């Protein structure tokens, strides 16, 4: 340890991995202040040139990025890139977190359009942008959230990517009839799950997100498409596997992708979570999209079934209208998921459902939102996240 007195000590402190961390700079070193102790860090010379050195020798000091340990429990809300890019709007959501039991915000890093929401010079990402909202100050925004001890997850919409599919049709899901890029009923296109070059693109987004401070990577749309013209569809990269094993081909293709994410990202200490259809908790088949609960669980730190009552069909488990029984839907689904993970020698503790807080197809009252939260607790789980694409959450449903 150097015995030099720090010239300046940052007033900012972050709660990270159970310690308080601050920063200090001496004439020749950068130190981390951790739990009362300064630890030296190497860094490139920067700022004002040292005596006798030319300006061309100087380089900016690389900023120290901190991460917050995953809270237990997680109580989160989703924030679109458009909201995050607008200080006045994101401020309202930050206030909601400050004033309630919430402790986590999930922010789009790549949204449904394929837009990457933050600037990057990574070779695989340079030149890729999309037409959606961009968060020019995302690193600074994350730092602000960390100062408030708010955990940040970065949502990455994976295989639904109309931007990348247009730019790289050779790896997109295609129409069987004429080889054109296939689109779902909303006009959105997908990348073929087995297109391995695209896997590296997703890894690059994840690594870049982590390096600017995002604490967790949350992967959505990790599936084959489901709701377009399924009779006129072709998978150029997955075709052989699907033909060889029609029953398990899709789920095995996804398992290979999950394994690749885990292999590349977990050793870096990046927390990984996966969003799955709600009915993966109760169905043992792959729902024709490749998602099987037991095949995803080993590769992620957290599994987030989207158990929105509005997404369940009429008469599911005997309930004529699932929208009228939000507690029952969530309790039944998450209880079944917990049983299945236990039977698979995994842990139910990694289950963290997405719950509904939006008026589709019926108005959602505070009581309906709270019923889902209580159902999560009654199923033996502790963590949950609220979804509303409009980011207007029900304050009355949350504890202060």
Buried-exposed string 314-347: b where 16+ CB fall within 10 A, e elsewhere = eebeebeebbebbbbbbbbbbbbbbebbeeeebe
Q: Is the pLDDT of residue 249 over 90?
A: yes
What's the pLDDT at 28? 36
What's the pLDDT at 41? 38
What's the pLDDT at 130? 83
Task: Supply the pTM of this predicted model.
Answer: 0.85
What's the pLDDT at 5? 33
In order of start, what are the domains of the chain with their CATH numbers? 1-45 (no CATH), 75-306 (3.20.20.80)
Mean pLDDT over residues 312-321, rounded?
96
Q: Out of 50-54, 62-66, 180-184, which region has the weakest mean confidence (pLDDT)?
A: 50-54
Q: Which residues fall within 8 angstroms of residue 339, CB to CB, at 6 or more apart?
A: none
- Alpha helices for 85-215 (secondary structure H): 87-99, 138-147, 162-167, 196-211
Closest of 114, 268, 145 to residue 213, by C-alpha:
145
Q: Is the pLDDT of residue 49 over 80?
A: no
What's the pLDDT at 247? 94
Burial of 179 (0-12, 13-18, 19+ CB in 10 A): exposed
The string of pLDDT tens digits covering residues 5-45 is: 333 333 333 333 333 344 443 333 333 434 433 333 333 32
What's the pLDDT at 322? 97
Percentage of residues in the chain with pLDDT exceeding 90?
81
What's the pLDDT at 22? 44
CA distance to 6, 30, 64, 214, 324, per residue, from 39 (Å): 12, 8, 13, 23, 57
- Alpha helices for the chain (secondary structure H): 81-84, 87-99, 138-147, 162-167, 196-211, 239-244, 249-265, 293-296, 326-343, 366-378
Q: How many Å separate Cα 202 from the centre of its chain? A: 12
- Distance, CA of 303 to CA of 374 (rounded, Å): 19
What's the pLDDT at 59? 54
Phi, psi values for residue 39, rounded to 5°: -115, 130
Per-chain mean pLDDT for the chain: 87
Peptide bond into 381 cis (omega under 30): no
What's the pLDDT at 44? 33
Tell me the longest C-alpha to C-alpha distance in the chain.
81
Mean pLDDT over residues 134-155, rounded?
96
Structure tokens at 355: 């719950």
Answer with the residue of higher pLDDT: 154 or 36.
154
The string of pLDDT tens digits covering residues 87-99 is: 999 999 999 999 9
What's the pLDDT at 185? 95
Mean pLDDT over residues 156-176, rounded?
97
- Distance, CA of 80 to CA of 108 (rounded, Å): 6
**How are beta strands 104-110 and 271-277 bridged, if at all?**
unpaired
């Amino acid at each position: 340890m150097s015995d030099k007195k720090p010239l300046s000590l940052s007033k900012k402190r972050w709660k990270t991995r159970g310690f308080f961390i601050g920063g200090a700079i001496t004439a020749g070193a950068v130190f981390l202040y951790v739990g009362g102790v300064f630890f030296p860090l190497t860094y490139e010379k920067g700022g004002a040139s040292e005596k006798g050195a030319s300006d061309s020798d100087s380089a900016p000091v690389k900023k120290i990025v901190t991460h917050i340990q995953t809270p237990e429990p997680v109580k989160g809300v989703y924030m679109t890139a458009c909201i995050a890019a607008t200080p006045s709007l994101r401020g309202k959501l930050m206030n909601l977190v400050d004033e309630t039991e919430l402790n986590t915000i999930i922010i789009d890093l790549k949204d449904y359009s394929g837009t990457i929401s933050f600037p990057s010079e990574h070779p695989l990402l340079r030149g890729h942008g999309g037409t959606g909202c961009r968060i020019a100050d995302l690193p600074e925004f994350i730092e602000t959230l960390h100062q408030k001890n708010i955990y940040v997850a970065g949502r990455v919409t994976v295989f639904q990517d109309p931007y990348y599919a247009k730019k790289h049709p050779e790896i997109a899901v295609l129409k069987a009839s004429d080889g054109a890029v296939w689109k779902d009923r909303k006009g959105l296109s997908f990348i073929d799950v087995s297109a391995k070059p695209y896997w590296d693109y997703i890894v690059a987004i994840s690594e870049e997100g982590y390096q600017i401070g995002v604490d967790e990577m949350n992967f959505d749309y990790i599936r084959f498409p489901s709701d377009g013209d399924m009779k006129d569809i072709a998978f150029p990269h997955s075709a052989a596997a699907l033909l060889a094993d029609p029953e398990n081909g899709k789920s095995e293709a996804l398992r290979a992708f999950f394994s690749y994410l885990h292999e590349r990202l977990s050793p870096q200490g990046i927390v990984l979570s996966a969003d799955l259809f709600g009915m993966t908790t109760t169905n043992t088949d792959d729902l024709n999209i490749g998602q099987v609960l037991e095949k995803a669980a080993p590769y992620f730190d957290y599994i987030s079934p989207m158990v929105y009552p509005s997404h369940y069909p009429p008469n599911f488990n005997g309930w004529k209208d699932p929208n009228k029984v939000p507690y029952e839907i969530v309790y039944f689904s998450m209880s079944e998921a917990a049983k299945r993970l236990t039977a698979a020698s995994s842990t139910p503790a990694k289950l963290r459902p997405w719950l509904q807080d939006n008026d589709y197809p019926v108005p959602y009252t505070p009581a309906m939102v709270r019923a889902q939260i209580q159902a999560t607790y009654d199923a033996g789980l502790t963590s949950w996240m609220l979804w509303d694409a409009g980011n207007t959450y029900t304050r009355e449903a949350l504890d202060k």
